[in-house]
Amino acid sequence: MKMYGKYVFSAMCIAALGLSAGAFIKANAAPAIESVAAGQPVDLTYAAEKALPAVVHIKYVQNSKVQTVEVEEDPFSDFFGPFGFFGNPDRGNGGTQKRRVQTPKKEATGSGVIISPDGYIVTNNHVVNGADELTVTLNDNREFSARIIGTDPNTDLALIKVNGKNLPTLPIGDSDNLKVGEWVLAVGNPYNLSSTVTAGIVSAKARSMGGEGTNGPQISSFIQTDAAINPGNSGGALVNVKGELVGINAMLYSQTGSYSGYGFAIPTTIMNKVVDDLKQYGTVQRAVLGIKGGDVLNYINAQKEDNKTVDLGTNEGVYVAEVVEGSSASAAGIVKGDVIVEADGKKITKMAELQELLSKKRPGEQVTLTYFHNKAKKSKTVTLKNAQGNTKVIKTADLDVLGASFRPITEQQKKEYDLGFGLEVTKVGKGAIKDGGIGQGFIMQYANDTPLKSISDLQELVKSVSTSKDPVLIIKGVWPTGKRDYKVVKVSE
């Protein structure tokens, strides 16, 4: 459980199948349930019975590690130390110094949702990020070891998998169809209890919490509910009365760290896209419009505070404060001061709604934007790009010849291991990497003295070596314990 300001993140689960999201929903659709007459009580027992078997308990273990940390030095410590008045010449006079320290073993718990009978489970990124071991316990007390398929910090979602058959699943519903005031259940494992159900209503949709990616998710379009979401519910299920998964419980708003009436869940419309991308590419294909801005009403109110009046032609939509050169927004003719009011024919009243719509798209796909320019309404269809300014697929490579998957190390890993670059081995199967003695978690920095700063560096090197007279890679890197090592990997037989 992590806390960002007043927002406590608690994990949710999602499903990824070889089926398309639509096919999966049809195949697992819940029986039709008659709508409840106005003023009549709602029976939630069917939804609870459907959800409980598919919500799991996740135990996270991060083993003790040796890592480099910066510590403040006492400028006077050497005057009184074993070296006497002159101090230790190898130490500085105050400031910070880097030291290798042993971190303690960490354990935590969260929740997850089984979305396929063969063991795909959706949870929160913060529940599994950095884990060396993951243990999944089902509602019937069966235990499985789990592996991480992929994670997406920007949405705080992760996809993990256990080796199982005929596991209980939760059908995926369409969160777009949720209505404010509709009854929902929050299912999870708060306080290390067995699966627990709480009930409430949908309080709001497309709720933005202001996350910018540094202290929380970048995609801020949450379902707000008053169903109690407590620590340990992270990755649990938000379920409608039909017993369909409509959201992954992500966080609670709290001054104390405990539930106080506001819970937030990631909509399944966002989850479906993330899960499909993680299964297919190993990373999320994120379409970028190329603007900075916010809710138009916030902009108008800010102008009023400065005793300025502004007439944009509308009081709803997304105010554009900046347009990235060469971006999709730029190609649409959007400039600073414009207001986006529709996307693909859907009314846009605030930034969170635009974010949610774009999160369903991949680079190369199109979006039709309607916007006000000098109070005149315009419309244009443009092709979306990725953050690199093109439409190429970004893929976490699974190099068949090596039998393993890799990804560039994160900023956190760079700080933790005091590295400038490297590729982490995220999955190991049968092949050259395993035969060479390299396991999951090993960070490869050099291969044949070539720096491995990106997946393409490794791909080019493997391509070159595999056709040479000496098809061998001498790989130097770092184990999760901080121990430096090198291994010899034979690329082809």
When mean pLDDT is compared over 245-249, 418-422, 437-441, the highest value belongs to: 245-249
Q: Is 57 a catalytic residue?
A: no
| Domain presence at residue 446 | yes
DSSP label at 390? S
CA–CA gap between residue 295 and residue 472 (Å, rounded): 56
| Domain presence at residue 286 | no
Q: Is 234 a catalytic residue?
A: yes
DSSP label at 484? E
**What is the reported pLDDT for 202?**
94
| Domain presence at residue 38 | yes
**What is the reported pLDDT for 25?**
38
**What is the reported pLDDT for 194?**
74
User: For residue 340, which of 350, 352, 326 has the smallest C-alpha distance?
Assistant: 350
Catalytic residue among 234, 254, 328, 359: 234
pLDDT single digits (tens) 84-114: 444 444 444 555 666 667 778 888 889 999 9
Number of domains into which the chain is organized: 4
CA–CA gap between residue 394 and residue 406 (Å, rounded): 13
Q: Is 116 a catalytic residue?
A: no
**What is the reported pLDDT for 40?**
54
> How are the residues of the chain apportioned to helix, strand and coil, as percentages rounded to the nearest 5?
20, 35, 45
**Could you write out the three-class secondary structure of 118-163?**
CCEEEECHHHHCCCCEEEEECCCCCEEEEEEEEEECCCCEEEEEEC
Predicted confidence (pLDDT) at residue 214 exceeds the cutoff of 90:
no
Check whether residue 241 and residue 340 sit in a common domain. no
User: For residue 358, which of 285, 431, 301, 306 has the smallest C-alpha distance?
Assistant: 285
| Domain presence at residue 392 | no
Check whether residue 314 and residue 417 sit in a common domain. no
**What is the reported pLDDT for 16?**
31
Catalytic residue among 57, 78, 111, 126: 126
- Amino acid 281 reads Y
**What is the reported pLDDT for 236?**
94
| Domain presence at residue 391 | no
Q: Report, as an integer, the average pLDDT of 36-43.
A: 61
CA–CA gap between residue 55 and residue 185 (Å, rounded): 12
User: For residue 114, which of 190, 53, 46 has the smallest C-alpha distance?
Assistant: 53
| Domain presence at residue 388 | no
Check whether residue 268 and residue 197 sit in a common domain. yes
Chain-centroid distance of CA 473 in Å reads 33
**Which of 13-22, 320-329, 412-421, 474-483 is the least confident region?**
13-22
**What is the reported pLDDT for 216?**
37
Range of the domain at 83: 65-103
Q: What is the pTM of this model?
A: 0.70
Check whether residue 7 and residue 144 sit in a common domain. yes
**What is the reported pLDDT for 475?**
95
Predicted confidence (pLDDT) at residue 120 exceeds the cutoff of 50:
yes
pLDDT single digits (tens) 52-86: 999 999 998 887 766 555 666 555 544 444 444 44
Catalytic residue among 78, 111, 116, 156: 156
